[in-house]
């Protein structure tokens, strides 16, 4: 996987953004995260090395805009250029995560049909309120690949059987010193829904404040990922 942070900066959108790692890191470095701007990597997909080879190798999955939101309002100025780069690099796939599904349809290019099989869009839904708000809007967008992330998972959520058209669900607790609690039974409930829907499920991380069998665990980030993997509860749908 290749990281393409073509812009930097964002605005807190909902409850899951409270302890955003981008804001925390920028604050440490004296950077105003609310100032959204292009980065030096904006044209990365079109860059070549000294031998004339693409810097992003053909066949790569490109993790796109992970220090902002691709559908944030400020990106309206530059999004057309970004879509054109994705169109030009028809040997790549692009993975985009958003908290703004209401802006997807209006932001798609005229040639969406040409590139849609190579664009994977994932919507985050951290609690039941945001799930019920965002899921219908997300499902209405004309996407080929739809994924959901429930992270940071702030409470138990219930999809109520509305996972048709969704490829996979990823769940995870919140990281950081002030991480809010995540309970293992919440994770298992979502897993059960994915199993019943016949879709993939991924337990990404426990979070830094994890509760299992009535015991609380404070975990370093590396252990959060290790313990989630150790649970061995992922589902890979074929």
d(CA 71, CA 78) in angstroms, rounded, equals 11
Taking alpha carbons only, the member of 89, 66, 58, 65 closest to residue 20 is 66
Edge-to-edge, what's the strand order for the sheet holding 168-172?
2-4, 61-64, 93-98, 119-124, 145-150, 168-172, 200-205
Taking alpha carbons only, the member of 79, 146, 90, 138 closest to residue 114 is 90
Edge-to-edge, what's the strand order for the sheet holding 209-212?
182-183, 209-212, 215-218
- Residue 89 lies inside a defined structural domain of this protein: yes
- Residue 46 lies inside a defined structural domain of this protein: yes
- Residue 101 lies inside a defined structural domain of this protein: yes
Backbone angles phi, psi at 200, to 5 degrees: -75, 150
Q: Could you report the per-residue pLDDT of 97-140, keeping only the tens digit for each?
A: 999 999 999 999 999 999 999 999 999 999 999 999 999 999 99
- Residue 122 lies inside a defined structural domain of this protein: yes
Specify the range with the lowest mean pLDDT, choosing from 94-98, 103-107, 183-187, 220-224.
Answer: 220-224
- Residue 237 lies inside a defined structural domain of this protein: no
d(CA 89, CA 115) in angstroms, rounded, equals 10
- Cβ(228)–Cβ(182) below 8 Å: no
Beta strands in the chain (DSSP E): 2-4, 7-8, 37-38, 61-64, 93-98, 119-124, 145-150, 168-172, 182-183, 200-205, 209-212, 215-218
- Residue 236 lies inside a defined structural domain of this protein: no
- Residue 238 lies inside a defined structural domain of this protein: no
Confidence of residue 1 (pLDDT cuts 50, 70, 90): confident
Q: Considering the chain, what is the average pLDDT of its residues?
A: 97
Non-local (6+) Cβ contacts of 39 within 8 A are 5, 6, 7, 8, 67
pLDDT confidence of residue 28: 95
Structural domain harbouring 16: 2-231
Number of separate domains in the chain? 1
Q: Could you report the per-residue pLDDT of 17-55, keeping only the tens digit for each?
A: 999 999 999 999 999 999 999 999 999 999 999 999 999
Task: Give a three-class secondary structure readout of 118-182.
Answer: HEEEEEECCCHHHHHHHHHHHHHCCCCEEEEEECCCCCCCCCCCCCCCCCEEEEECCCCCCCCCE
pLDDT value at 220 more than 80: yes
């Amino acid at each position: 996987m290749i990281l393409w942070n073509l812009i930097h900066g964002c605005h807190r959108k909902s409850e899951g953004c409270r302890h955003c790692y981008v804001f925390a890191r920028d604050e440490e470095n004296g950077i105003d995260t609310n100032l959204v701007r292009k980065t030096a990597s904006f044209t990365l997909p079109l860059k070549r090395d000294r031998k004339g080879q693409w810097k992003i190798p053909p066949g790569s999955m490109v993790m796109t805009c992970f220090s902002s939101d691709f559908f944030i309002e400020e990106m309206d100025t530059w999004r057309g250029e970004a879509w054109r780069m994705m169109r030009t690099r028809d040997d790549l796939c692009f993975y985009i995560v958003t908290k703004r599904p209401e802006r997807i349809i209006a932001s798609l290019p005229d040639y969406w049909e040409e590139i849609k099989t190579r664009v994977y869009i994932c919507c985050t839904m951290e609690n039941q309120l945001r799930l019920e708000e965002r899921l219908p809007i997300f499902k209405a967008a004309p996407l080929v690949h739809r994924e959901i992330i429930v992270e940071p998972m702030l409470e138990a959520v219930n999809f109520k059987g509305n996972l048709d058209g969704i490829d996979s669900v990823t769940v995870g607790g919140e990281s950081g010193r002030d991480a809010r609690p995540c309970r293992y039974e919440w994770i298992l409930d979502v897993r059960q829904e994915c199993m019943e829907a016949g879709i993939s499920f991924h337990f990404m991380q426990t979070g830094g404040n994890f509760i299992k069998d009535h015991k609380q665990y404070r975990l370093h980030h590396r252990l959060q990922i290790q313990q989630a993997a150790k649970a061995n509860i992922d589902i890979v749908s074929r």
